[in-house]
Amino acid sequence: MARRRRPVPLPARDGVDATRIVPRSDGTAFDALRAASSLADLSDDALLSRFADGEVVGGDGRVLEPAAAVRARQPLWMYRDLPVETPIPFDLEILHADDDIVVVDKPHFLATMPRGAHVGETALVRLRRLLGDDAVSPAHRLDRLTAGVLLFTRRQEVRRPYQELFAQGCVEKEYRAIAPEPPDELSLPCEVANRIEKTAGDLRARVVDGPVNARSRIEVVGAGPESGLAEYGLTPVTGRTHQLRLHMASLGMPIVDDPLYPDVRPDLAALPDDGDFTRPLRLVARRLAFDDPLTGHRREFVSRR
């Protein structure tokens, strides 16, 4: 059974959760935060002002002074300034909402949840602000460049059952992709099965030797928008990072406008940061279907993208 996470001792602010900092060694609260690489952009004065405003707390919610003693691996929490972000000019459409879940049709370029330079321009923060509900939490994730159906929970009490649906592979997922027509020697439909690993610091996942941990079913479902392209139906049997993108590229059919596979394309990857959203990755999470863990009723949601 998964370990239950402790609640965050600071409430979300404008839809954004407080930042968790884990000290590497025993010392003072100030030194612990000063050593955190994620806070390198904060000056000493700015950091001290967080303490003065009561915005640095321990795991028990106790407000900390700069000289307070802290232990290694015992998390501290604080609010951070939001980065300046390029606005994503696409709506986050709500497909379904009830007391337990919200299902959205996520646009391309919008990350699922805050990470690095993407905070306010994420599906989670946008949805919290739209609904005025900081209890909203993702039950699973989609890559920032992938559009489509994304499910969030609305109450902490129901979060685990929905997350376990995805963790245990109990959700039917269907994707659509635009890519070059299949090579003559390739017979479709087919299943790709291999081992994928992704290491920290490497932008791309890679196929390596070892037991199979990634399976995808691939078929042609229609003609592409222009000559030489086709529309593919993709069914991930497993859920490894970048699995569908890597499997399509390995068959000689890289998804149109993929900035990572088969080769890294820095010029394409940089376009959204410069405000150019004209070349999205042509991959959409088209459909989710599952038996609801609370009611047992069949649920199905389809993207309109």
Output the pLDDT for position 3.
43
Strand-pair partners of 301: 288
Report which secondary-structure segment, H or E, holds 49: helix 44-52
The residue among 53, 22, 61, 54 whose CA lies nearest residue 39 is: 22
Residues 233 and 175: beta-carbon distance below 8 Å = yes
pTM score above 0.85: yes
Output the pLDDT for position 5.
55
Q: Along the chain (305 residues), what's the average pLDDT of each consecutive run of 10 residues?
A: 61 93 94 91 92 93 95 93 91 97 98 91 97 96 97 96 95 98 95 94 93 97 95 96 97 97 96 95 98 97 96
Residues 198 and 241: beta-carbon distance below 8 Å = yes
Residues 6+ apart with CB under 8 A from 218: 188, 189, 190, 191, 192, 232, 233, 234, 235, 247, 248, 251
Output the pLDDT for position 175.
98
CA–CA distances in Å: residue 217 to residues 184, 222, 230, 279: 18, 16, 16, 26
Output the pLDDT for position 6.
61
d(CA 291, CA 298): 5
Label residue 97 exposed, middle or buried (CB < 10 Å: 0-12, 13-18, 19+). Answer: middle
Secondary structure class of 286 (helix, strand, coil): strand
Report which secondary-structure segment, H or E, holds 208: strand 206-208
The residue among 130, 264, 133 whose CA lies nearest residue 204 is: 264
